[in-house]
Structure 1
Amino acid sequence: MSLKFSHETLGQRVLFGTKQASQYLIAEIMRLEAQNVMVIASNSGLFSAQEIAADIDVKVWHSNVKMHVPMETAIEARAIAVDNDIDVIVSVGGGSAVGLAKAIALTTSIPIIAIPTTYAGSEATNVWGITESARKTTGVDNKVVPTTVIYDSSLTMSLPVEMSVASGLNGMAHCIDSLWAPHADPINALMAAEGIRALSAGLPKIVADPQDISGRDEVLYGAYFAAVSFASAGSGLHHKICHVLGGTFNLPHAQTHATVLPYVLAFNAPFAPDAEQRTAAAFGTDTALEGLQKLRAQVGAPQRLSDYGFTEEGIPEAVSIILEKLPAHNPREITEENLTALLVAALNGNDPATLN
Structure 2
Amino acid sequence: MTHDTRLGFDRETLAQRVVFAPGAAASRLADELRRLGGTRVLLVAGSAEAELADRLTADLATRPGAGAGPVVVGVFDAVRPHVPVAVAEAARATAAETGAEVLLSVGGGSTTGTAKAVALTTGLPVLAVPTTYAGSEATPVWGLTEHGRKRTGVDPVVLPRTVLYDADLTATLPVGLAAASGLNALAHAVDALWAPRVDPVDTVLAGETVRVLAEGLRALVADPDGPGAPAARDRCLYGAHLSAVVFASAGSGLHHKVCHVLGGAHDLPHADTHAVVLPHVLAFNAPAAPEAARRVAEALGDRDAVAGLVALARDLGAPTALRDLRGPDGTRMREADLAPDAALVAEAAPPSNPRPVAPADAEQLLRAAWAGTDPRGDGER
Q: TM-score range by the shorter chain?
A: over 0.9
Partner of residue 159, structure 1: 173
Partner of 1:142: 156
Unaligned runs of 5+ in 2: 61-70, 326-331
Deviation at 1:284, TM superposition (A): 1.8
> Conserved in 1, the CA contact under 8 Å of 2:253 and 2:353?
yes
Between the aligned partners of 2:39 and 2:164, the Cα distance in structure 1 is 20
Contact 2:343 2:362 survives alignment (8 Å): no
Q: In the TM superposition, what are the counterparts of 1:295-334 in structure 2 within 5 Å?
A: 295-308=312-325, 309-334=332-357
Do residues 259 (structure 1) and 263 (structure 2) align? no
Once the 2 structures are TM-superposed, how far is the Cα of residue 351 of structure 1 from its aligned partner?
A: 1.2
Asked whether 1:206 is paired with 2:220, we answer yes
Distance 2:350 2:94 in 1: 35
Whether 1:7 aligns to 2:1 is no
Deviations 1:223-277 (A, max 9, x none): 0011010011111000000001001111110000000000000000110111111
Alignment of structure 1 residues 266-281 onto 2, 5 Å: 266-281=283-298
Distance, in Å, in 1 between the alignment partners of 2:370 and 2:341 is 12
Question: Would you say the 8 A contact 1:15–1:24 is kept in 2?
Answer: no
What is residue 345 of structure 1 aligned with on the other side? 368
Residue 58 of structure 2 aligns to a residue whose secondary structure is coil
Larger Rg: 2
Alpha-carbon distance in structure 1 between the residues aligned to 2:204 and 2:122: 34
Distance 1:248 1:120 in 2: 20
Contact 2:342 2:360 in 1 (8 A): no
For residue 289 of structure 1, report the CA deviation from its aligned partner: 1.1
Cα distance per residue 1:57-102 (max 9 Å; x no partner)? 2111110100110000100111111222211101000001000000
Amino acid at match of 2:335: E
1:60 partnered with 2:74: yes
What is the match of residue 107 of structure 1?
121
Task: Quote the offset at 1:324 in angstroms.
Answer: 2.1
4+ residue runs over 4 A deviation = none
CA distance in 1, matches of 2:230, 2:119: 32
Q: Deviations over 1:99-130 (max 9, x none)?
A: 00000000011000000000000000011000
| One-letter code aligned to 2:142 | W
Is 1:84–2:101 an aligned residue pair? no
Report deviation, 1:328: 2.9
In the superposition, the TM-score normalised over structure 1's length comes to 0.98
Does residue 34 of the first structure (1) align with residue 38 of the second (2)?
yes
In the alignment, the residues of structure 2 paired with residue 72 and residue 63 of structure 1 have an alpha-carbon distance, to the nearest angstrom, of 13
Query: 2-side partners of 1:109 and 1:287: how far apart?
Result: 45
Per the TM alignment, residue 140 of structure 1 is displaced from its structure 2 partner at its CA by: 0.5
Offset of residue 33 of structure 1: 2.7
Aligned residues: 355
Answer yes or no: is the 8 Å Cα contact 1:122–1:227 preserved in 2: yes
Q: Quick check: 1:69–1:129 contact (8 Å CA) kept in 2?
A: yes
Is the counterpart of residue 238 in structure 1 residue 255 in structure 2?
Answer: yes
The question of whether the paired residues in 2 share the 8 Å contact of 1:93 and 1:115 is answered with yes
What's 2:24 paired with? Answer: 20
Report if the CA contact (8 A) 2:44-2:76 is conserved: yes
1:297-327 Cα shifts (integer Å, max 9, x gaps):
2111111000011221000110122222121
SS of structure 2 residue aligned to 1:354: coil
Q: CA deviation at 1:216?
A: 0.7
Identity of counterpart residues, as a percentage?
Answer: 49
Q: What amino acid does structure 2 have at the position aligned with 1:264?
A: V
1:289 paired residue number = 306
Residue 66 of structure 2: aligned partner:
none
1:150 counterpart SS class: strand
Q: Which amino acid aligns with 2:57?
A: A
2:189 to 154, 175, 182: 175
What is the CA-CA distance between 1:139 and the residue it aligns to?
Answer: 0.5
**Bigger mean CA deviation after superposition, 284-293 or 135-144:** 284-293
The CA distance in 1 between the partners of 2:78 and 2:359, in whole Å, is 38
Among candidates 214, 223, 232, match of residue 215 of structure 1: 232
Instruction: Confirm or deny: 8 A CA contact 1:130 1:138 kept in the other structure.
Output: yes
